[in-house]
Amino acid sequence: GRMATSSVIHRLAKHCGGIARRALSVQETVSAYSQLRREYSPTTNATSKLLQHVSNRGVASFPADEAAKLVCATAAIDYHLPEDRIAAFPLADRASSKLLVVEPDTGRLTCGAFRGLPSVIPNGSLCVRNVSRVIAARVIGKKSSGGEVEIFFLNPLKPSEDPAVALSQACTQEVEWECMLRGKKLKEDQTLHATAVVGDVEVALEGRILQRAGKVARMRFKWDPPHLSLADLLEALGETPLPPYMRRRAEPSDRQSYQTVYAETNGSVAAPTAGLHFDEGVLARMEAGGARFRNTLLHVGAGTFVPVEGDVTRHTMHMEPFSVSTSLLREIAGRKGG
């Protein structure tokens, strides 16, 4: 069954009148936990410690800094997610995925299909979408000894730090990327190779490790044929970078399914997943209902896969490049609740 902590989150939201309205103070949080003690058994160390203290000594005696630590601990919001509830493959029909709708006035929850979204959003809504395109960022290379090494392209360094620009470059100048490496006995100045045959043309990539810190390395690349762009090279050699929780190797069908239907500009190493549910039919019906679409660009980085552990306030967030036009900012600022 559902673990108690997931119910705790629900009750906390109800206690403060909805998470989106305001943040709980430390005392309100502790008070809410104490109200749940009789109904739910604690299932994490953080919850247990908090409830035990409140039960024995009362809310007022609980140190504020200690309460804050427990509230911010990932263990306090942990819940059980069965393996069989994690989809390893997408639905063939994107729009048949589930859609949970919260009515803003009553808080009533209804569950339907994503294709029903056009009937839910207000007429004339301004819809901003991320048109970044996922690249085949994972390449399986080999050392001179024949051992396999996974090369995961993270961030471009030369000749440009802009992913779209770097990916469009041919091999006419120095090309350097920050990469994540997975393999045994890797060291600086080591050369890695990857090859593939596209049609009747052999495509070859060579990468040299310039610097290395743990799993992350600065690498310099060259390839043949040199007139190919790096994006075309990765399409030939690389795999779609599926999230680790899917626990499978990428398949050819993932090139399309792990991509939004409106993706345009190369640069992401993970999909903006909320957009994967849209298909052309849903977009067309939204537009017919008066929705206006505007594009922005945010390249999703591999840091989105990094788990948050322990104290959430100590988690280091990664950076992601983005661009948004001033005209769109003005348009958003000019909207009144739409």
In the predicted structure, residue 50 carries a pLDDT above the cut 50 = yes
Rounded to two decimals, the pTM is 0.74
User: For 59-64, what is the mean pLDDT?
Assistant: 50
Return the sign of the alpha-carbon dihedral for residues 127, 131, 136, 137: negative
Q: Where are the domains of the chain?
A: 5-74, 82-133+253-334, 137-239
Looking at the chain, the whole-number percentage of residues with pLDDT higher than 70 is: 76
Secondary structure (3-state) at 178: strand
| Other residues' Cβ atoms within 10 Å of the Cβ of residue 155 | 20
At 191, the amino acid letter reads T
pLDDT tens figures, 251-262: 999 999 999 999
Domain 82-133+253-334 has CATH 3.40.1780.10: yes
Lookup: tokens for 128? 């901003």
Instruction: Give Cα 131 to chain centroid, integer Å.
Output: 15
Provide the H-helix boundaries in 151-276: 163-168, 230-237, 254-257
pLDDT of residue 119: 93
Q: Residue 271: how many CA atoms within 13 Å on its side-chain side?
A: 22
Burial category of 66 from C-beta neighbours within 10 Å (exposed 0-12, middle 13-18, buried 19 and up): middle
Tokens 């640069």 found at: 267
Question: Which residues, in sequence order, are CB contacts of 1 under 8 Å at separation 6+?
Answer: none
**Is residue 30 a contact partner of residue 2, using CB atoms and an 8 Å limit?**
no
Instruction: Determine the average pLDDT of the residues in 179-191.
Output: 93
Q: Is the pLDDT of residue 17 over 60?
A: no
